[in-house]
Structure 1
Amino acid sequence: MAKLTADQLYSATDPAAIPFDSTADAAPLTGLVGQERALEAIEFAIGMRRDGYNLFVLGPAGTGKHTLIQHLLTTQAAADPVPPDWAYVHNFENPSQPRALRLPPGRAAPLAAAMRRLVQELRATLPAAFESDDYRQRREVVDEQFKQRQERAFVDLSERAQKEDVALVRTPNGLALAPARDGEVMAPDVFKALPQPDQDRLKAAIERFQEELQAIVRRLPDWEREHRELVRQLNRDVTRFAVAHLIEEMRKGFLDLTAVQAFLDAVERDIMDHAEDFLPKPQQGPEAMMGVLAGGAGGEPASGRRYQVNVFVDQTGATGAPVVYEDHPTHPTLVGRIEHQARFGALVTDFNLMKPGALHAANGGYLVLDAYRVLANGFAWESLKRALAARRVKLESLEAMLSMTSTVLLEPEPIPLDIKVVLIGPPQLYYMLAANDPDFGKLFKVGADFDDRMARDGGNTGLYARLIAASAVRAGIRPVDRTGMARLIDHSARMTGDSERLSLRVRILEDLMQEADWQAGRAGSPTVDAAAVQRAIDAQRRRDDRLYSRALEEMRRGTYLVETTGTAVGQINGLAVQSIGGFSFGLPSRITARVRLGNGEVRDIERESELGGSLHTKGVLILTGFLGSRFGLNRRLALAATLVFEQSYGGVDGDSASSTELYALLSALSEIPLKQSIAVTGSVDQRGRVQPIGGVNEKVEGFFDVCAARGLTGEQGVMIPSTNVKNLMVRPDVARAVAEGRFHVWSVATVDEGIEILTGVPAGEADAGGNWPPGTVNHAVARRLARFADRAEAARPPARGPGSVGREHRHGRRDG
């Protein structure tokens, strides 16, 4: 056992060991320090161009994962080739399945602009062409030919009929044949007055010409069809003449692109077939409204929109591969979406209303996502996995994906996917996915594990000072001098809870530096010194310690019964750490033990009342093993003991108080009082060795604050495991109190060492026969347990002989 010095409680950095006067003089530091393992994994994942070698970056928050990933990906992307442009165009064969065009970088936007100009030209050129005198004359010729053809047929029939006294007349129901005389239709009574032979002759003529009339009428649709075909051909000729040079001009800009030439061929054919779409439509009734609906969103004619080019990926001006960070990963923001517009009570859409997602934008490059946010949108996670597994991105609405709609939807042609996805998240999420998602291991084969600490040695001190300098430049604060850097390094060690390690949670350190810069500015200092850093640390604590201060006040007032002076049997001060938000603090708790005659059971009142956790229960059970192995080898333990955290109204877990409970139990058995001026922490094993615990700094400070509030006597202190000495980085005021002898910290390796400090009585060491020397704690415990055993033996019923057993058996009784 040892009483620790102030230097052991606070390992201060020597400002003279920092190789520059202030952060303004430091050499630039690129990247992060202490992350060599993660850096190797990232570089491997970036360079590995195989399926499934996507990257999951895991580590605690604030370690600079996003910064490093962004830097490395941007550097690599600058050397990668620029990926192609992608655009969607109308599918003239199947409009519900828009086609994807792959174009060289920077060529999609010019194509879209050229198509917009073409449509504008068509809206001006085609109406002018169809309003020209030449077109009117040619159309009149076609119409006149059709009219003359009809007229000739009926005139010929009429002339031949007249020669046989039959007239071709028009009625409200159409053409009809009737008997005539001198070119005039006979009245019915005149026809009936004719001789019968004349009537029969006229009836036969009418029937014959009626058959010819019907034959002519049956041929009318064919003539009309031929007429329409002639008009259509005329329109195509006029359209071709009007647009041929426009299309040809467009072709010249894309002669090297076969896909674009094929698209322009389809556009030209469709314009020939639908030139009338560009002509004025005078109707304003339901037909006009239906035409707008057919044209799609925006109220434009169908032809005007279907010739557009929907640019999905535009690499104009790009100098490398894209690096995209999507901060809101959902199904639509990843794979894209299809929008609709309401037109006259109907929802309409077309390929122009398709919008790209992050997978489209990052195609050919890198996509960075926060794992938590992806998983928070379940459909986003499934959509991402589907795209990576299929190596293509399919623009599909959630309704279609879940088969929740019966309407006709667009089914765009999928785009091939060549991408590297980087997920960033905490370690527990990475391990959960690896254990429970069978697709995760196939798609994310590389994990980059960021560390949250690095060794604190001479070489790393200078390197860490350069890290502070880089953070100061990035944060835009005033220079940090040697003392300020030394204090920041000390606080970094405190953050890790280890004097031999430095924290790599850069974001938290930068926040503290900015707050220290504010403190320096408030004090009128041109630099950030140790005093400014300490004021910032104190201010952080002050903002968060309201509940802690209230608890200390209640202990000072005696509401919480914690003794800091005097002695007591079976009573000791234990230490526990509580966390509220990001603030952790230690508080002492009064632990008591009571013993009596029993069957060797140590009862945990916390467990019996269902307030104790499994780890705390384990620690109490270890006490039974310790007592049995030390004092119960020759005689059975005949005690019954109870242990409890007094004034504890919440749950208790962890085994860090197991040594404390053992001290209370040994005091209760030996009837030797314990010093109430000493608080204890540490777990214990069955051999009595004191084991390390967490939160040692907060525990030391917690008891110090209680003692300071009541007045330091110079006798108070804390006893910790010797294995926790390396973790000590207490507050400067605690270290000063230790240096001045007003407070103490002891380190112990075994329970025997600890009980000597707490009682002032030697623990004692057993001889070869297992006997403890008189005047020691262990001797007193063994003697008390022996008395319990003697009383237990005396209370045991006398043994019964064979006869009595037989008699009891005959009376129906049995021994248990």
Structure 2
Amino acid sequence: MKNTPLAPTQLYKPCNIGHLTFDSTTELEDIEITVGQERAMDAIKFGIRIHKNGYNIFAMAPAGTGTLTAVRQLVEHEASRQAIPSDWCYVHNFRQPATPLAIQLQAGQGKTFKADMEELIDELSVAIPIAFEGDGYRSRAGEIESQSRQREINEFSELRDSAANAHIMLSETPTGYSFTPATEENQEISPEEFNKLDKDKQHEIQQAIIGLQERLTQLLKKFPTWRKEAKRKLQALNRETAELAVNHSIDELIEKYAKQPAVLAYLQAVQKNIIDHVGDFIPHGEKMFPFMEMPQESDPFKRYRVNLMVDLSDKKSAPVIYEDHPNYSNLLGRIDHQAYMGSLVTDFTMIKPGDLHKANGGYLILDARKLLFQPYAWETLKRTLQAGEIRVESLERALSLISTSSLEPQPIPLNVKIILCGDPLIYYLLSEYDPDFHDLFKVAADFDRAVAREDASLNYARLLATIARNEKLRPLSQNAVARVIEHSSRMTGDAEKLLIHLRSIKDLLTEADYWAADNGHPHITNSDVQQAIDHKIHRLDKIREKLYENIHRGTVLIDTEGKVTGQINALSVLQLGEFSFGQPSRITATTRLGSGKVVDIERETELGGAIHSKGVLILSSFIAARYSRTSPFSIAASLVFEQSYGFVEGDSASLAELCAILSSIAQVPLRQDLAITGSVNQLGHVQPIGGVNEKIEGFFDICVKKGLTGTQGVIIPETNIKHLMLRWDVVHAAENHQFNIYAVATVDEALELLTGMEAGIANEQGIYPPESFNGQIAAQLQHFTMLKKDFDKKSEL
């Protein structure tokens, strides 16, 4: 019979102080926070160095593991070895104003080009008005206008003289021109006097007036043509004057950017547009001629400005951008609008860059969860990567929610490496449900929460030193480092592992630093670390305290002494936020004559999960296969978690349930001073479970409340021994033989501990010794079978 408890040395794996060859962490050098993450780091290096489409990276790690920091450090190091990408800017499209042009420039030239255009505008704003105010321009313009007016005056004078020779007066009226007869002294003849003239004279005058009116009509038809000619001459003069003022400044820029075709073409378009709209450079008050008096824009020079979208003049390497709020506009950019005269207006200067613009030619790091939470951000990112270009458009327009005209900026070619950081669950869900995911994110970097503890103490101490320095905390003493290492193993639930969840470590060190300051310690000591651990538990354990209080007061029934048939103490773990604790639960089983069915009351009431139901089915198969291979399985059994009013899930209680059923069948009582945890398979082997430390401590706390007897303890799977990192009070109780931890590999070993009987081994004929526990079960099942046969015979009669 195997009933020897585990040695205290098996319950806790202390840190070997001999491996920590320092007095405090001030003596230790910094270390990369990616210690133990070689697999993930290799994947990221591969992903950022392969320059092929689709080889973007998904870094899989739970929040708080330092993934983002590690990725940024690695990417920034890689980016420092790469050339600075291009600047990008938008300029006005003079042919199609609604489609601004994108111009690519060498890094740093975008800022220079923008300044050059601003300087050009300033120069022309001065040079053009001066040119048009000069004496030469005024003289020539005045001559053209004078000639045009003189021509009209001469023609009118000639017509007036012809009329005077015919004794007809030409006069101007509010409605036009009129001819009236006159005397030889050029006195107007009244209608009465005209009627007194003889008919021949009247006819002669009328014919003369008709002829003069025809000449006047022809003359008035010529005036618009003559004025157009004068206007064309003035426009030619204006163009000539503007070219003299503009060409010098523009030619300097054309020469400067002669090797850049896109800029050169734009400058030539600017030159033509300025000459065609030279009037915009002359203020209204200074305009001299009617042909220039046309409505002006509020800022006519805006169309010549440069909207610098990407300025890398201050960069020394490829950009690395992290976006904390990856919504549609922040990723893709946006087109702003301005209220004007009761409406919203926009232009190319209101195009704002997004993260894809800023990271173009470099790296963009995003939080996958935040990205997926933003409406249409994920689909937009995929579409942009697939198209290989950044197309700025409003979300409303992209979704066809509006049909108003707007800007359609020329797309910018995209060359960026995307690194998504997120929980592994997000990666697997996207892999399963998004057919585009693996086409775009071919590299998975899988970060681990824990690393092997063996021979890692010194590197872990360097990690603690690095975190303490980065967070400006006190250095840790040697014993403090040892305590953190031990607690790190406890947080992983594995004595052979160390936690590398940086947020948890940083929080522990921050709180220990607070207590060190409160205690007046220059260094963080062992007691400061323990105080931080204890205080955090105290902040979170109110519910545990209430549950244990109910057990102690008898409200929740848990026995820690005596023996009861068909009743056993099982152990479960409750997880409440960052705090988890063990909770003992009473399981009872009843058996009777039946048809071989084990009723799981939790499942029947829909309070049991699928895994729990699976465990019950496995144990029922085990009982039937072991004890009723050659005869009917003629029992009915019922299982229930007593005083359980919530959902039950998991199979870690299947060993306890099996022992309770077998106890009820054999009518052999089970020890109530022992609690048990473990799952079982169909062959009777005990399998490991999670939360073993919390489960043991949970029953220990109940026993302490009720009083330790020295016989109390917990039965755990043998395969869970390597996970034990129990509290010191539990270890001390085990050292003093006040509390015992037993490890079992089979159901029989557990039954021997719970009943104090030999389990018994079947002989070659499959018969168990009658005095053994298995023998009594076999006998009882045989009795049930006989009763079933007698019952069936009576039913047939």
Task: Name the TM tier (shorter chain).
Answer: over 0.9
Partner of 1:219: 222
1:194 Cα offset (Å): 4.0
Using the alignment, how far apart are the partners of 1:708 and 1:212 within structure 2? 129
Matched, 1:322 2:324: no
Residue 713 of structure 2 is matched in structure 1 by 717
- 1:405 pairs with one of 379, 402, 405: 402
In structure 2, what is the Cα distance between the partners aligned to 1:717 and 1:799?
Answer: 49
Cα deviation digits, residues 347-385 of structure 1 (max 9, x gap)? 121111111111111111111111111111132212212
Match of 2:416 in 1: 419
Which moved further from structure 2: 354-363 or 784-793? 784-793
**Superposition pairs for residues 332-351 of structure 1, below 5 Å?**
332-351=329-348
Of 536, 541, 548, which residue of structure 1 is paired with 2:532? 536
Query: How far off is 1:7 after superposition?
Result: 1.4
Determine the C-alpha separation between the residues in 2 that align with 1:579 and 1:537: 17
Give 3-state SS (helix, strand or coil) of 2:41's partner.
Answer: helix
Structure 1-normalised TM-score? Answer: 0.92
8 Å contact kept, 1:291–1:301: no
Is 1:436 matched up with 2:433?
yes
Q: Determine helix, strand or coil for the equivalent of 1:242.
A: helix
Alpha-carbon offset, residue 598 of structure 1: 1.8
| TM-score normalised to structure 2 length | 0.95
Amino acid at match of 1:768: E
Which deviates the most, 227-236 or 44-53?
227-236
**Which digits, 9 at most, give the CA deviation of each residue in 1:740-763, with x for residues without a partner?**
211111111111110110011111
Which of 76, 94, 106 is residue 108 of structure 2 equivalent to?
A: 106
- Alpha-carbon distance in 2 for matches of 1:686, 1:31: 45
Structure 2 residue identity aligned to 1:274: H
Q: Secondary structure at the match of 1:10?
A: coil
Please state how far the C-alpha of 1:628 moved relative to its aligned partner.
0.9
Which of 565, 569, 572 is equivalent to 2:561? 565
Q: How far apart are the structure 1 equivalents of 2:738 and 2:158? A: 135
Q: Does 204-213 or 43-52 show the bigger shift?
A: 204-213
Amino acid at match of 1:788: F
Question: Which of 37, 42, 45 pairs up with 1:43?
Answer: 45
1:67 and 2:91 aligned: no
1:160-309 matches, within 5 Å, as: 160-182=162-184, 183-251=186-254, 253-281=256-284, 295=297, 300-302=298-300, 304-309=301-306
Number of matched residues?
788
Residues in 2 aligned to 1:178 and 1:661: alpha-carbon distance in whole angstroms = 131
Listed as ranges, the matches of 1:407-486 within 5 Å are: 407-458=404-455, 460-486=456-482
Q: Report the CA distance between 1:58 and its aligned residue.
A: 0.9
Against the structure 1 CA distance between its residues 786 and 351, is the aligned structure 2 distance closer, same or farther, given a 3 Å change threshold? Answer: same
1: CA distance between counterparts of 2:530 and 2:122? 70
Question: What is the one-letter code of the residue matched to 2:266?
Answer: F
- Distance apart, 1:575 and its partner CA: 0.6
Report Cα offsets for 1:306-334 as digits up to 9, x if no partner: 11111111111321111111111111111
Alignment partner for residue 370 of structure 1, among 367, 371, 380? 367
* Structure 2 alignment gaps of length 5 or more: 287-292
Q: In 2 relative to 1, CA 613–29 (structure 1 residues): closer, same or farther, beyond 3 Å?
A: same
> After alignment, is 118-127 or 601-610 more displaced?
118-127
- The Cα shift of 1:179 comes to 4.4
**Secondary structure in 2 matching 1:462:** helix
The 5-angstrom pairing of residues 668-687 of structure 1 reads 668-687=664-683
Which 5+ residue runs of structure 1 have no aligned equivalent?
A: 284-289, 802-816
Instruction: Report how far residue 184 of structure 1 moved.
Output: 4.8
Report 1:384-403 matches (<5 A): 384-403=381-400
How far the C-alpha of 1:207 sits from its partner, in A, is: 3.8
What secondary structure does 2:515 align onto?
A: helix
Measured on the aligned residues, the alpha-carbon RMSD in Å equals: 2.2
1:331 is aligned to: 328
2:33, 2:463 within 8 Å by CA — same for their partners in 1? no
Range that drifts further, 261-270 or 51-60 = 261-270
Amino acid at match of 1:266: A
In structure 2, C-alpha distance between the alignment counterparts of 1:474 and 1:496, rounded to whole Å: 24
CA drift of 1:680 comes to 0.7
CA apart distance, 1:250 = 4.4
Question: What residue identity is the alignment partner of 2:746?
Answer: T
Match of 2:115, as an amino acid?
Answer: A
Matches within 5 A, 1:25-174: 25-174=27-176
- Cα shift at 1:148: 1.4
Q: Could you tell me how far 1:199 is from its partner in structure 2?
A: 4.0
Residue identity opposite 2:162 in structure 1: R
Indicate yes or no: 2:496 matched with 1:494: no
Mapping of residues 790-801 of structure 1, within 5 Å: 790-798=786-794
Contact 2:656–2:676 (CA<8 Å) still a contact in 1? yes
- For residue 750 of structure 2, what is the aligned residue in structure 1? 754
Query: Structure 1 pair 504/272, CA: closer, same or farther in 2 (3 Å)?
Result: same
Counterpart residue type for residue 237 of structure 1: E
Q: In 1, Cα distance between the equivalents of 2:436 and 2:170?
A: 84
* Identity score, percent: 45
Do the aligned residues in 1 keep the contact of 2:23 with 2:477 (CA within 8 Å)?
yes
Per the TM alignment, residue 238 of structure 1 is displaced from its structure 2 partner at its CA by 2.9
2:608 equivalent to 1:612: yes
Distance 1:377 1:184, change over 3 A: farther
Q: Structure 1 residues 90 and 12 mapped into 2: Cα distance closer, same or farther (>3 Å)?
A: same
Instruction: Verify: 1:628 aligned to 2:624, yes or no.
Output: yes
Correspondence for 1:813:
none
